[in-house]
Copies of this chain bind each other. A is one copy, B any other.
Amino acid sequence: MSVQMEIICVGNELLIGKTLNTNALWMAKRATSLGIVVKRITVVGDYVDEIAAATVEALQRKPRFIITTGGLGPTFDDKTLEGIAKALNRKLEVNEDALKMVREKYEAFAKEGRIEEVELTPPRVKMATLPEKAKPLLNPTGTAPGVMIEVDETFLMALAGVPSEMEAIFEDSIVPLLKKAGGNVMFFETSIFADNMMESTLAPLIDQTMHDSAYVYIKSHPKGEENMPHIELHFSTTAKDSKSAKDRLGKAIIQLSELIEKSGGKVTVQQKSQIRQ
């Protein structure tokens, strides 16, 4: 039974097409590499009701992990924690551990001469105002702490939206949990490329190879123009060790390559075609 994750990205900038969602890519890739199955990514705007609805819906699907990113900062439109509190029907309260983290940040800024006063103004206290029974997660590179809340069997975690902060909190506080949950399963992948063959001609060859290769998933991605087909064939599998993964993927690659060449196609293997974890 796979360990599942959902990602919720909060931010109007993602919905107006201003910002490319590189955070979702990064988290999905990192979690997948640890054997976690990302089932859904949801993007909502900076609205309490939207965030609450997305959180409630994700919780109902009972993934082991729900990770939100964005909306933890000091401005009026940083509403993720308010949304989560609403979803869980919990009050927001100043969390003393979080307040200590925030205070220490501003004290350090003052020492460096970057700010004149360390006063914990309302926008600063806001970053330490968490849903009841939440645990703050240290933000090594920014001010707003991450937040962890256990809800039944789900770890619900809220991370900052600034990529460097999101990645740092993820590595420090989430990766250890993912490793523990994912067991020792790892994700392996590689790609080869087929030319001179249309995707509709490839389709039955892929079917046949997947039928013969247990645990190997093959997906075709057309990369060329319509009148010059160039198709990436992406092979992936999860395994406990690199040898089983390589044996399994290697066998499937050989079979599909032979089928393609028999049907008049051309297979190319690029540097990218190394099997990687």
- Residues of A that sit less than 8 Å from B by CB: 12-22, 24-33, 37-46, 50, 54, 57, 73-77, 109, 112, 114-115, 121-124, 127, 141-143, 162, 164, 187, 189, 198-204, 206-207, 210, 217, 219-222, 225-227, 234, 236
- A-B contacts, 22 of them at CB < 8 A, read A12-B217, A15-B32, A15-B41, A16-B187, A17-B31, A17-B33, A21-B21, A21-B24, A39-B44, A40-B43, A40-B44, A73-B222, A75-B199, A75-B202, A75-B206, A75-B207, A75-B220, A76-B203, A115-B201, A123-B201, A127-B200, A142-B222
User: Residue A13 contacts which of B112, B221, B225 (CB distance < 8 angstroms)?
Assistant: B221
Inter-subunit contact A234/B75 (CB<8 Å):
no
Inter-subunit contact B40/A28 (CB<8 Å):
no
Inter-subunit contact A40/B42 (CB<8 Å):
yes
Inter-subunit contact B203/A123 (CB<8 Å):
yes
Inter-subunit contact B17/A30 (CB<8 Å):
yes
What's the dominant secondary structure at chain A's contact region? mixed
Inter-subunit contact A234/B13 (CB<8 Å):
yes
Distance, CA A17 to CA B164, complexed state (A): 17
Inter-subunit contact A22/B20 (CB<8 Å):
yes
Number of copies: 2
Residue from A76, A112, A143 having most chain B Cβ neighbours under 10 A = A76
Distance, CA A74 to CA B205, complexed state (A): 12
Inter-subunit contact A25/B17 (CB<8 Å):
yes
Which 6 A-B residue pairs are closest in the complex by CB-CB distance?
A17-B29, A17-B28, A123-B203, A41-B43, A74-B200, A15-B38
Point out the residues of chain B lying under 8 angstroms from A204, CB to CB.
121-123
Inter-subunit contact B16/A29 (CB<8 Å):
yes
Given A42-B42, A114-B198, 18 more A-B residue pairs with CB atoms under 8 Å apart are A14-B24, A14-B41, A16-B28, A17-B33, A19-B25, A20-B20, A20-B25, A39-B44, A40-B42, A40-B44, A75-B199, A75-B206, A75-B219, A76-B206, A76-B207, A141-B226, A143-B226, A164-B225
